[in-house]
């Protein structure tokens, strides 16, 4: 991280069907100073816990969710979709890090299009986890609501506007002199 952060009060939920991965991520987070870590072995159990938090104590909603993609019966993509569409708006904006052994472009794009803030590839390291946490803390993406999408703005690069490369051309409409038209048509 470019800046030292006090992560003692940050609440992190970890969802993975592998007890080893949960322990590994928990160890990394504890090493970084996190003290409030909520493990879940499947998406259904975390969904149930989040429903309870939303209804009874919204202050217990996690600040960040780290979820594996490939779980059964429901996946990390199912979880992020459920989260972004939840009846409790406080859950909609929870930063979400998708974790996967598959790092293909299609997987990254699918996670982004589902509403994930970040993508982490297994095997992960403390360094890559710190990079994703830093990005969430230092550069939070604004959220976008569109007919088919709700989640963090998917654009990452700041692309300068170049008028010379503008593909759309301004439309020019011919201006006709109505007086001349009237004169020519008696």
- In the predicted model, is pLDDT for residue 175 greater than 80? no
Q: 51 is written with which tokens?
A: 């429903």
User: How do residues 70-91 score in pLDDT, each as one tens digit?
Assistant: 999 999 999 999 999 988 888 8
Nearest Cα neighbor of 129 from 38, 26, 3, 6 is: 26
Cα 159 from chain centroid (whole Å): 20
Q: How confident is the model at residue 2 (pLDDT cuts 50, 70, 90)?
A: very low
Give burial (CB, 10 Å; 0-12/13-18/19+) of 40.
buried
Q: Distance (Å, rounded) from C-alpha 49 to C-alpha 40? A: 9
Pick the residue with more confidence: 101 or 140?
Answer: 101
Give me the count of residues in the chain.
186
User: How do residues 47-69 score in pLDDT, each as one tens digit?
Assistant: 999 999 888 888 889 999 999 99
User: What are the sequence ranges of the domains in the chain?
Assistant: 11-151
CATH 3.40.50.2300 fits 11-151, yes or no: yes
Q: 163 is written with which tokens?
A: 């008028």
């Amino acid at each position: 991280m470019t800046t030292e952060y006090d992560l003692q009060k940050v609440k992190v939920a970890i969802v993975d069907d592998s007890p080893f991965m949960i322990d590994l991520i928990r160890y990394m987070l504890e090493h970084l100073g996190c003290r409030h870590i909520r493990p879940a072995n499947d998406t259904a159990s975390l969904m149930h816990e989040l429903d309870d938090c939303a209804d009874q104590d919204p202050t217990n909603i996690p600040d960040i969710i780290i979820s594996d993609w490939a779980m059964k019966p429901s996946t990390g993509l199912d979880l992020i979709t459920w989260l972004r569409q939840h009846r409790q708006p406080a859950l909609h904006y929870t930063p979400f890090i998708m974790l996967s052994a598959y790092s293909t472009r299609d997987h990254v794009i699918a996670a982004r299009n589902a509403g994930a803030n970040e993508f982490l590839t297994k095997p992960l390291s403390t360094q890559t986890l710190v990079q994703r946490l830093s990005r969430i803390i230092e550069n939070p993406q604004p959220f976008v609501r569109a007919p088919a999408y709700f989640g963090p703005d998917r654009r990452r690069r700041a692309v300068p506007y170049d008028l010379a490369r503008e593909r759309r051309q301004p439309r020019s409409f011919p201006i006709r002199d109505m007086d001349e038209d009237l004169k020519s048509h008696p």
